[in-house]
Amino acid sequence: MTLTAEPSTALRTVLHVGCGLADPDKLPPAFFTPGAWQEVRLDIDPGVAPDIVASITDMGMVNEASVDAVWSAHNLEHLFAHEVPLALAEFRRVLRPGGFALVTMPDLQRAAALVAQDRLEEPAYVSPAGAIAPLDMLFGHGAAIAAGNHFMAHRTGFTARTLEAALRRAGFATVRVVRDEAFALWGTAFVAPAG
């Protein structure tokens, strides 16, 4: 059965890519406005029961220009570098005019600063998954990988400058990348409005 991210008339649609197990806390606060957003969940792993089973590099089951937002938390770093443009092109393809992609991932520039201080395995911050060291930011969450979740391995990464450049090359009209206190980059990329 083909599923598409077709919204109801009253709600805007956020396509939550790489969603993992269902949990409303996985959406950023921007999508919590009551009666405003409908979440459509997409994941490569059918075991997490997403609405759409697909890779973020080929979201052909989602119609072109059919969603208002794409939310991607810690997914792009799991791709090989040559796959990132494919995923970003898919994000842009499924967004309506004026829509936006919101992505987050480790800030490798800040991780590298800790590595340069010989703090590769020292915790940099604590996440819901536990303590995260620069080693985890560079190569993927070690505990999850050791437990057999090889989807958690990192194959590429970004600094603020390289993430902004990747989003611009994907054709987004407006791009903003900021850093947070938890060693993460947050990129917001808008599709040009219609007309």
Exposed/middle/buried for 23, CB within 10 Å: 0-12, 13-18, 19+?
Answer: exposed
Q: How confident is the model at residue 24 (pLDDT cuts 50, 70, 90)?
A: confident
Pairing of strands 95-106, 67-73: parallel
pLDDT tens for each residue of 68-91? 999 999 999 999 999 999 999 999
Nearest to 19 by CA among 59, 58, 47, 48: 48
Listed in sequence order, the residues at least 6 apart from 92 whose beta carbon sits closer than 8 Å to its beta carbon are: 101, 170, 171, 172, 189, 191
pLDDT at 191 over 50: yes
pLDDT at 119 over 50: yes
Percent of the chain scored above 90 by pLDDT? 83
* Cα–Cα distance, 94 to 51 (Å, whole number): 16
Mean pLDDT, to the nearest integer, of 158-181?
97
Per DSSP, 140 falls in state B
Q: Where are the alpha helices (DSSP H) in 33-132?
A: 84-94, 108-116
Q: How confident is the model at residue 1 (pLDDT cuts 50, 70, 90)?
A: very low
Q: How confident is the model at residue 194 (pLDDT cuts 50, 70, 90)?
A: confident
Q: For the chain, what is the radius of gyration of the CA atoms?
A: 17
pLDDT for residue 9: 57
pLDDT at 2 over 60: no
* Cα–Cα distance, 149 to 18 (Å, whole number): 14
* Cα–Cα distance, 49 to 194 (Å, whole number): 34
pLDDT for residue 8: 47
3-state helix, strand, coil split of the chain in percent (to 5) is 30, 30, 40
pLDDT tens for each residue of 143-167? 999 999 888 899 999 999 999 999 9
Q: How confident is the model at residue 171 (pLDDT cuts 50, 70, 90)?
A: very high
* Cα–Cα distance, 93 to 81 (Å, whole number): 19
- Structural domain boundaries in the chain: 12-106+156-190
In contact, 123 and 133? CB cutoff 8 Å: yes
Q: What is the mean pLDDT of the chain?
A: 93
pLDDT at 131 over 70: yes
pLDDT tens for each residue of 30-69? 888 878 999 999 999 999 999 999 999 999 999 999 999 9
Mean pLDDT, to the nearest integer, of 111-132?
95
Nearest to 19 by CA among 39, 38, 43: 43
Q: What CATH topology corresponds to 12-106+156-190?
A: Rossmann fold (3.40.50)
